[in-house]
Amino acid sequence: MDFWKRAGMAALLLPLLLPLSAYPASLFGNSSTVLEWSDTPEGETAVEAYQYLRLSAKELPGGVDFQVYGRLADDLKNETEPESRLYYGYLDKKDAFDRLDLRFGRQFITTAAGASLLDGIKLDYAGLDPVSLSLYGGGDVSYYEGYSSKDWLSGLAATYAPSETFETSLSYLQRWEDGELGQELLGFDLDYDYRRALNLYGELQYSWLTEETTYFLAGVNYHRERDWNLRGEYLYSLPVFSATSIYSVFAAAKYQEASLEATLRLRNDLNAFIRLSREFYDDFDDAQVIESGIEKLRNGSFSGYLVGSYRDDEEGQDLYGVKARLAYLFHRKFEAAFGAHIDVLERRLDDEDETTSQRLWIDITSYLSDSISLQGKVERIESDLWAEYYQGRVRLTISF
């Protein structure tokens, strides 16, 4: 664990350790200073401060590129414990050897077999055209469950792409927790665009340890027409628990969904959609969902969206929801907006508050220059679990 912490800090400090003559020919990114406050239903007030930094350095000595994104965090009122995080930080070398790319550091890995944040190395080889190979391995990072030097992840993938309209891949991933094998997953995905009019795609994940399909997606998208397209999808999902987890001995409930969606371009700055879906549950009655909306893109002063949804639950728990946001650009350097999400039950990454049923907000953005912006936002929130509470945010962003 200490090794990877030191490696992550070294990645952050690397550009500062280079001599001035070795600085890259291209250095860009952005920095955001954020101050957030929130009043909780328990009567507490938290004031959290964050400093975000995203940095890209191109053409370092040896043809190496460097990417990093992370944040420092603190609660000025000592009510919460926000975490400082290194989201990613890696060195990237194209053609390190003949048609072999190398990436080292903290990076996001995603394949049909699974996805994770990895502290380690990834190799991509394109010397078998039209087949390409990927191999990766290292520490498995988890922000919410802790991180141990015995948490390892490794995998490989083979991709076959004979043309711009067809691509398929096979992948394998294994995850170790506390030195024990927790997951072995196989993945398959396919993407085929027939005559650039009909897109067929699918993705499959299979758990080798439990011998069951854990994820399946199949879809078709007709997109030949300029002003409209039609998409149909089927989704099957089953939770994947580690073999080391107590939950692995319990039967997990699967979720299925079938949907049909049409998207229309009414004019260059105005789009509309309608989506019909049916949700299938093991332990609850099935539900039908209708969602329709319109979006106004900015080509003048106004922009925004309006979306309505209706969820027909056979158990009698019907739900009508609305999402709306209206923004007005008063000046090329000043924009104000009002938004509302009502009865849409949005999921949140919070152990104590998984859903919200109502969210009203006002946000203001000032474009101080081409590279500096200041944003403020105040929200009133009603939780599905708690009563109303308020939160606000001020963000200063500088691009360079």
All domains in the chain, ordered by first residue: 2-399 (2.40.170.20)
Greater pLDDT, 390 or 168: 168
Task: Report the number of secondary-structure helices (H) and strands (E) in the chain.
Answer: 1, 22
Q: How many CB atoms lie within 10 A of CB 116?
A: 20
Q: So what's the pLDDT on residue 41?
A: 58
CA-closest candidate to residue 170, choices 155, 188, 190: 188
Lowest mean pLDDT among 110-119, 145-154, 337-346: 145-154
Phi, psi of 316 (to 5 degrees): 95, 5
pLDDT class of 349 with cuts at 50, 70, 90: very low
**pLDDT for 8-54, tens place per residue?**
444 444 544 444 345 556 899 999 999 999 876 567 788 999 999 99
- Give the integer Cα–Cα distance in Å for 9 and 85: 11
> H or E element: which one contains 363?
strand 355-367
171, 113 Cβ separation under 8 angstroms:
yes
pLDDT class of 385 with cuts at 50, 70, 90: low
CA distances from 242 to 119, 208, 248 (A): 20, 12, 6
The two tokens of residue 125 are 């080889």
* Residue 244 DSSP label: T
Is residue 247 helix, strand or coil? helix
Phi, psi of 330 (to 5 degrees): -70, -35
Asked if the model's pLDDT at residue 399 lies above 70, the reply is yes
pTM: 0.85
